Amino acid sequence: MPTDTLFAKIARREVPAQIVYQDEVVTAFHDINPVAPTHILIIPNKVIPTMNDATDDDAALLGRLMLTAQKIAKQVGIAEGGYRLVVNCNPDGGQSVYHLHVHLLGGRKMTWPPG
């Protein structure tokens, strides 16, 4: 299991990013290739490569990611209009960075299915 990722370096502030929220458990920052007017990534500071690697011990952490997304959506003004949360898992799911992360997408009408 990797212990160091680009996202871990962002959380440690070794790599620059537009961080919008950080605490001892999670870090959130703007995606460098946004697919919506608001596109923020929310990561656990602990490296979990994929959703498949999460365990029962990570349940509180996974909940914290969701509640952080809710808080940021309110903070950036997209909560009332609506937003989408996405977690990609492995190549067929569209995951490209192997550090679990939640995409917070908003600022426009989302379509379904997503792709």
Instruction: Indicate which residues carry an active-site annotation.
Output: 101
Helices (H) and strands (E) in the chain, counts: 2, 5
Nearest to 5 by CA among 61, 58, 51, 48: 48
Nearest to 19 by CA among 32, 36, 33: 32
Does an H or E element contain 40, and which? strand 38-44
